[in-house]
Structures are given as C-alpha cells and as structure tokens.
Amino acid sequence: MTPTNNRPWSFAGEPAGALEKVHTPSSAGIESICDALDIPLRQFLKTFVFHATSPIFVRWVVAVVRGDHKIDESKLSEAAQLLGVTNLRPAEESPDFRKKFAVGYVGPDAGTKLPDAALIVDPDAAQGERAWATGSNEVDYHVRNFNWFREAGDKLADPTKVLVADIIAS
C-alpha cells in the first residue's frame, strides 16, 4: 500500500482566522451541519473513531477524511497496520468510547491529544492552507477555521502516531 497514493498533502499553512466555535445542537448529519455553518461538504473534515487492538499503546484510531468523501475501512485497516495496529472495530463497541470522545462532535485533533490514540488522515484532508470546519470535541459544537498546525502542533510530526494515507472509498 502506498500511504498517500501520490496525492500531494501538507499540514503547513497559516490559519485563515481565529478558531470560531459554533453552536450546532442536534445537527442531524453532515449536510445539516454544513448548512448551519454555510460551507460546502468539501470544506468539512469528517472524523471517525475506531477502537484499536495492538501490541503497542494504541487503543484508538482517529481517521479523518474530507466531508464529501467516504472512508474505506479496508484501506484504513491497511494504513493502521503501518502504525502497528492489528485490529480495528467500531468505537461504539467499546464502553470507554463515550467517556473519551464527544460522540458526533469529534475533531481531528482528538487523535493527537490522547496518549493512546493514533491519527490517520487522507491526503485530501491533510491540507493546512484550507479553512476547515470540523467537530470541536465538545457536544453541540463545531468549529470554523480549524488549522492543523495551530490545533495539533508538533504532534503531527510523530511518525509513530500520525500517518497520512489513502483511506477514501474509490
């Protein structure tokens, strides 16, 4: 597996503005969230959480794709193996999921903030020059102007915990 499938990516880029938290209670799906934020789907980062089994200290895999893309779980599993993860399953099956994550409002930076999490980002979502909208890691809120470096910092440079790989469905 070629991790990035030769699509260019870079987390680098100046923030488009201050991180703006927006109240989005009871948003029913990504389309309604994007409508509430007045943005197209391609400007939203969708974040998925999976429970991981691994011989290393990774219990969670946080996967990020652009809002107009769908995740391919077999590609994600292959990518996770590059980080030492042997098995992935839906996070909802873990009793700790709701204790660690704001379900429905998880942001991409959750993968860098938890010591037992790894982050896998599709190249189309690993674009630092974009003004992204995404989950805020707080129930009933999303954010505008998410910036990879500002929100995740130097942790993005850790190759044992962060991987950019093709994980979208064809």
61 is written with which tokens?
A: 């895999």
Output the pTM of the full model: 0.94
- pLDDT one-digit tens code per residue, 107-133: 999 999 999 999 999 999 999 999 999
The whole-number average pLDDT for the span 134-144 is: 95
pLDDT at 3: 65
- pLDDT one-digit tens code per residue, 35-85: 989 999 999 999 999 999 888 889 999 999 999 999 999 999 999 999 999
**What are the domain boundaries of the chain?**
26-164
Domain 26-164 has CATH 3.90.960.10: yes
Q: Count CB atoms within 10 A of the CB of residue 169.
A: 11
